[in-house]
Amino acid sequence: NAGVIQTPRHKVTGKGQEATLWCEPISGHSAVFWYRQTIVQGLEFLTYFRNQAPIDDSGMPKERFSAQMPNQSHSTLKIQSTQPQDSAVYLCASREARGNTEVFFGKGTRLTVV
C-alpha cells in the first residue's frame, strides 16, 4: 500500500498561469477529499468526492478552482489564472466508505505562485 500519492510534490507557477494537481487515492477507498493548508487558515476543506461523484464543494473558491474525479484511481484539482494568495500546500486524502473511518493524507503538493 503506497498510500495516497500526490504529484507533483512542488510546483511553481507564474501569476496568471494554470496549475493542475494530481491525486491517486488508496486503492479501494471510495471517498476522496482535497484540503488546502496555509499558516494563517490552517487546514481548509475544499471538496469531496464519493464513488467519483462530487458530493460537497462548499470549500472551493467559486472562481478559478475546479476538481474532477474521472475514475476511481485519480482526482485532479485545477487552478486557473493562479494568484499569489493561492500559494499553499494542497492535500489530498481518502478513506473507506464507512463513515467512521479515518482519512489518510497524501504528502501534499506545495504550490508557489510567483
- Whether 109 contacts 11, CB under 8 Å: yes
Total number of residues that touch another protein (CB under 8 A) = 22
With binding defined as CB under 8 A, does residue 105 bind another protein? yes
> Applying CB under 8 A, which part among 21-29, 67-75, 76-84, 99-107 lies near another protein?
99-107
Cα gap 47→45, rounded to integer Å? 6
Per the DSSP assignment, residues forming a β-bridge with 78 are 20, 66
Write out the three cell numbers for 19: 496549475
The answer to whether residue 107 forms part of the interface with another protein (CB under 8 A) is yes
CB of 113 to another protein, least distance (A): 19
Rule CB under 8 A: choose which of 26, 77, 88, 108 binds another protein. Answer: 108
Q: Which residues of 25-44 are buried (b: 16+ CB within 10 A; e: fewer)?
A: bbeebbbbbbbbeeeeeeee
Query: Which residues here bind another protein, judged by CB under 8 A?
Result: 31, 33, 42-43, 45, 48, 50, 55-56, 58-59, 89, 91, 95, 99-100, 102-105, 107-108
